[in-house]
Structures are given as C-alpha cells and as structure tokens.
A and B are shown apart, each in its own frame.
Chain A
Amino acid sequence: MPFPDVKLANRPLHFLYLCDCSGSMAASGKMQALNQAIRQSLPGMAAVARDNPEARVLVRAVRFADHAVWHIETPTPVDQLEWRDLQAGGITAMGEALKLVAAALQTPPMEVRALPPVLVLISDGQPTDDFAAGLEALLRVPWAQKAVRLAIALGHDADLEVLQRFIGTEPATAGRSPRRPLQASNATSLAQYIQWASTAVVGAASMPASRVSETPLEPAAGNIPLPDLPPTVLDPTDDVGPLVW
C-alpha cells in the first residue's frame, strides 16, 4: 500500500535579529562592527543548518531607530541570505520593534510545528518609546514565550535592565549563573557573541530534546538549554580588542 500523499517536513527554526540603529550606533564603529559580525557569522550558521537537516533555519531582521521596520522581512534560508548593511541614525524605538516581532510570531503566519524561535536583541542605549507596552505585546504571544531570547549590550550606555526584562529571569541552576544580557565591549567580543548565537544556540535549538515542565504553577524559564559561552568570551580580560566602547 503506497505511502499517502502527505507533506512531511522538517521544522522551521526562525532566527530574528532586532538591531538598534539609533544615532549612537554610528559612534566608535559600532554599526560597522555589528554589520561585520553578522555577515561573518552566516557561513557558520549555514554549516550548522546543514548539519541539522531536521531544522530549516530561516533568518529575519528588524532595525529600529525613529521607527521599527523590517530589514529582512521574508524568512530567508540562511544559505541564501545576503546581509545588507544597517545604517545608524535616529532614536531608539525598541518597544515598536518588539511589537513588530510580536505580530510576526502570531500563528499564522508562524507554523504550528516550528521549533522555538531564537530572538537576538542588540542595543547600545535606552529605549525612547514605550518599551513596556512592546514587551507586554511580545510576551502575550505564545511563540515569544517559547522563544530563546538573547540580548547583547553594546558598550557602557546600554540599558541592562531593559535587556534583562527582554530575556526574562532564569534562576541560577547547578553549575550555572543566572542568565544575563551579554555585554560586548568591543568589536571582537561582539563578533564572538554573534557567532555563538548563530551557531551554538542555533545548533541547540535545531535539535531540542523534550524535557520536563518544571511545575504546573511555574513554567520553566529556559526553553532550550543554552550551550556554554566560549571561554574567551567568559573572561573579558582575555580578549580586549583595539577599541573599547
């Protein structure tokens, strides 16, 4: 008896960058470093995708300055992605960016059987709009609750509290510290964080293992056990680039 005419499919893994493109990103080469870091991470991300054929890695990006707009709106297979440079200028409509992503994570268009998406928020400053409303809109969406949410703070002026609220709180577990925003102090550490998010994290999210829902009253905080950061990134003194933000 022939196999039925059904569509079997690998599971889409949506990877979304939320990039701060405010005017301050133009200072000290931050914008240039971010563009370069993302561009350089793509081959590694494509290799991870090839190694995990059960996941279909699809990349999108939002840029936010005076307003939030899609930089890459169509979920694009990583091996077909050509990164166009982001430009800095304007203020920091981070809340608007979260609302834009919230709308994109609705089902539909999100597939019911997608893998938990990966959201990477990168910012060097403070939101100038209603961040709380944006975050509330985002976290109302089940796919955002299921997402792996990472935040990278660029330099000293980044609002760590806001970024912490974006990634949520996860208590310390045996051998692991509580999750915190990653703090990139120069182009090298930024590149390492982006590389880590686009390879190690994508690899972990591509083949998630089922796990216990911790308690019926308190949902587990982390949806995918995050892989360790590379040692050079863990120790900032080990890796000081030419320019410190």
Chain B
Amino acid sequence: MVNPWVAPIGASRAGAAHLRAGRPCQDAVLCGELRDAAGQSVMLMAVADGHGGRRYRRSEVGSRLACETALAVVADALAAAAPGDGEGGWSRWLAHDLPEMVQCRWLEAVQAHWQGDPGEGDFEPLLYGSTLGLVVMTSRWWGHTGLGDWDLVRVEADGRARLLEEENEPTALGEATCSLCQPQAASLFARRAALHPLAPEERDFALVLCTDGIRKSCASDGDFLTLAAWLARSAAETAGILPEALDRISREGSGDDVTVAIGRSEAPGEELPPPPPAQAKQTPPPPPSPPAAPEASPPRPLPRRRRPAIGRALVIGLALAAAGAGWLALVWPRTQPPPQAAPTSPGLRAALAEVERLCSQPATLPLELRRRRDLFVALRQGRQDPARLKAAAASDPLAALIAADLPAAHPRRPLQALGACPALLEALSRQWAESPAPATVIP
C-alpha cells in the first residue's frame, strides 16, 4: 500500500522576546521518515517546548532530546513488530506504551546530558522540563499523542481548518503546562492520544502541529485557524517560507518561541511521494533566514512542479476568505433562521445575539464550549440550577444557552427555536456526551 503522506516539514524560531533577552530558542522540532517492519514508509513529526523559567535552565536541551527520543522510540516500535491486534493495538501503543518508553528514555537522555556537562547543584529532571507533541502517519492510519500546550490543526483540501487537539488540563492554569519532567508524565499522554483510520476518500488534507507560541500570537482562534491553513498551503509550495513567517508571527504577536511541523496526505492519483529511503532519515529544520519584510510579500507565481490537490483547494479557500465571501459560513450553513419578532426581554435578546455570534464562528465553537466544561458537568450533576442560569441570560448568555440545552426527555431542543445552527447543536451534543452524569446510587 502506498503511503499517501508527503515527508513532513517543520521549523522552529526563537521568539522576539527571547532574542531581546538574549535567551536561546527553547522550542524544538523534528520531522522524520521511518520504515515499519514490512518496509512501509511511516512519517513522523514532533514539536517540543522547553519551559522558559529560571528553574528550567536547560529546557532547550530537554526539548531537543524530547523530539529525538520520540523519533527513536517510534523507530524501535516500528522495526520490532506491529502490535498484534491492528489499529486497536496501535491506539493503546500511542496512549500507553509509547509514553512510558518516551518518558523513560527521555529521563535517561537528560541524565546522560547532565553527567556529560554537569552544572551547579544536583541533577533534577525539572532543569530540562519540556512538552512534547507527536504525530505518526502511516498508510492506514495516523495518530497523535503527547503532553503540554501544543496544538494540532487539520486543514481540509477545501481550506477548512479545525482544531483537533489542545491542552485542556484543569491543572494547566495560567502559563502552567504538563511536562515530561513530571513523575506522572507518561500517564498524561493518554488524554492527548488518538488514532484516526485513513479512509481512501479522505486522503487529501494537512496536519499542522505547533507549539503554543503561534496560537498565542493570534488575536482569535479564527485567526489561528486561518494562519494554520495558510502555513499548510505555503509549506506545500515552499518549505523555506516557514522561518520567515514564524519570525513575523512572533514579532507581531506573543514574542514567544514559535514552532510548526506540517504533514500532508495526498489523494491517490496526485503526485506520488518519493521512494522510501533505505533507512531512517531525519529532516532537520530549514536553516535560518533573514528577517521578514515588514509588509506581506506580493503574490508569487505558483511553483513549476505540479502542485498537490490540497494546495489548489487551499488557494480557493483562502481566496474566498480574502474576498470576504464568508467561506466558513458556506461550509456550515445556517438552516434555522432566528425568530423574526423582535424580543423584548434583555435576556432573550442576549441569548439570540449569543446564538448569532456562536453560529457565525463555527470553527471556534467546540473551543468555546470546552472552556465551559465545568458548567456542563455541574449541570449534569445537578450542582448548578439551570433556571437560575437562564434567568441571568443578560449577563452570561452562553451559560443560559447551555442550561437551556440540558438534555431532557422531550426530543425538541429549545435552542432550535432560537435559531441555533446545526454546528452549535452538534457541538453542544458533543460536549454533553463528554460531561459525566452522576453515578447511579443503588440503595
């Protein structure tokens, strides 16, 4: 079976604030092409973000070793043998076996580094603290795993982008994040791990894996998704554009280190990937480039070589966006018009406006609802009074909408009467499904 994945590419740049403070880039990226036991090509991309505080003064080494360790662990697992029961086995491997191996070998690697270059005080893994995000891409499936504040975006051939993964840990408050240096690190991978079978009809998309510096540089999640789609499309044309783009993102945004890795699957019949290498090959990040120009560069002619299908489709998607055609709205059309009569209650007005707002930004809907996860759980478990939340719709319309949508016996959902779009109803349903009901007590 031909692997539809094009060799992933990535880049990592020191943030503007780090450069000003004379600090190194504490992010790392590694993209590689491996072979499984049957000789099939397998792609891998990893990003890592070393913590920046004084306590983590070797985190730039920790992040590099995190990526290298991940690649080595995946290579070993592929070379040894596939887990016995197909995708279920690989799924468990992503969630449990691989994390244990990665943590164990990362700890060995950072300890070895310390022994080779001891610093002041005693060794502790905290000095090397780093996150890790990892995507493995095979001919039959692709999967992700890791821990910490990385983001993963899927960009479809028509330009739509959606966030697949973000850190959602209750303990990751403020700038805190999960880290390989924590004793329980291996157990934290499972909630960020998933395996996705690769269906023949959906082999035309890109995956954008990045450290938190990129998302934090964007004014909104909509901007972030548009930027991810552009990065995917640009990288399909010219990998060299990444360093320049990342410099600009950090300079005009968060000032943090910025790192991205991009994997791309092509539909059958498009340009075939190059023949697999004789042995594991690592693709280093592109070399540094001069600083970006202050203004966006003018459109360039398309590359001479045949561009993959996703590239063409993304051009269409982005062109629509640039023309103000509301491409997101086209993808998720609203089928339920809001009530025509002008509401008199401030609460109802606020609720209708909130429905309108949410449905105008379908791509960020799941994120907005996930941030209210505690409220979903509290309502499910009867710790929040839905009537009280609905009565306070004027001050917190989203909470009122969530309360109104609390699953009940009657099939018609009240939000339909408010003109909720299918995307909103679906996102609410998904969030309810992830919110546990109280355990049944058997007398």
Nearest-neighbor residue (CB-CB) of B216 within chain A:
A113
**B175 lies within 8 A of A6 (CB):** no
Is A146 among interface residues, defined by CB-CB distance under 8 A? yes
Which chain B residues border A217 with CB–CB below 8 Å? 171
Contacts A1-B241, A2-B297, A7-B219 given; indicate if A212 touches B254 (C-beta within 8 A). Answer: no
Which chain A residues border B381 with CB–CB below 8 Å? none
**A4 lies within 8 A of B318 (CB):** yes
**A5 lies within 8 A of B299 (CB):** no
Nearest-neighbor residue (CB-CB) of B299 within chain A:
A2
**Taking each of B56, B170, B252, which has the highest tally of chain A beta carbons within 10 Å of its own beta carbon?**
B252
Which chain A residues border B173 with CB–CB below 8 Å? 142, 145-146, 213, 219-220, 223
Is B169 among interface residues, defined by CB-CB distance under 8 A? yes
Instruction: Please provide the chain A residues from 100 to 128 with a CB less than 8 Å away from any CB of chain B in the complex.
Output: 103, 106-107, 111-113, 116
**B396 lies within 8 A of A8 (CB):** no
A8: contacting residue among B54, B218, B300, CB under 8 A: B218
Q: Give the A interface residue count (CB, 8 A).
A: 41
Contacts A7-B223, A8-B219, A11-B216 given; indicate if A2 touches B298 (C-beta within 8 A). Answer: yes
**B254 lies within 8 A of A10 (CB):** yes
CA distance A107 to B364 in the complex (A): 14
B176: contacting residue among A6, A106, A210, CB under 8 A: A210
Which chain A residues border B297 with CB–CB below 8 Å? 1-3
Nearest-neighbor residue (CB-CB) of B251 within chain A:
A8
A6: contacting residue among B218, B254, B371, CB under 8 A: B218
**B171 lies within 8 A of A211 (CB):** no
CA distance A207 to B233 in the complex (A): 31
Would you give the shortest CB distance from A95 to chain B, in whole angstroms?
18
Q: Encode A194-232 as 1/0 by CB contact (under 8 A) with B.
A: 000000000000011111111111111001110000000
**B170 lies within 8 A of A10 (CB):** no
**A208 lies within 8 A of B175 (CB):** yes
B221: contacting residue among A11, A112, A209, CB under 8 A: A112
Q: Encode B242-259 as 1/0 by CB contact (under 8 A) with A.
A: 000100110011111000
Which chain B residues border A7 with CB–CB below 8 Å? 218-220, 223
Is B45 among interface residues, defined by CB-CB distance under 8 A? no
Closest 5 CB pairs of A and B: A209-B52, A54-B255, A223-B174, A7-B219, A3-B296
Task: Beyond the given A2-B296, A207-B255, please list 13 additional residue pairs across the A-B interface where CB-CB is below 8 A.
Answer: A1-B237, A4-B227, A6-B223, A7-B219, A7-B223, A8-B219, A8-B223, A9-B253, A54-B254, A210-B175, A212-B56, A219-B171, A225-B53
A→B interface (CB under 8 Å): 1-11, 52-54, 103, 106-107, 111-113, 116, 142, 145-146, 207-220, 223-225
17 sampled A-B residue pairs with Cβ under 8 A: A3-B248, A4-B318, A5-B226, A6-B219, A7-B218, A8-B217, A9-B252, A54-B255, A107-B371, A116-B174, A208-B175, A210-B49, A211-B53, A211-B175, A213-B172, A213-B178, A218-B171
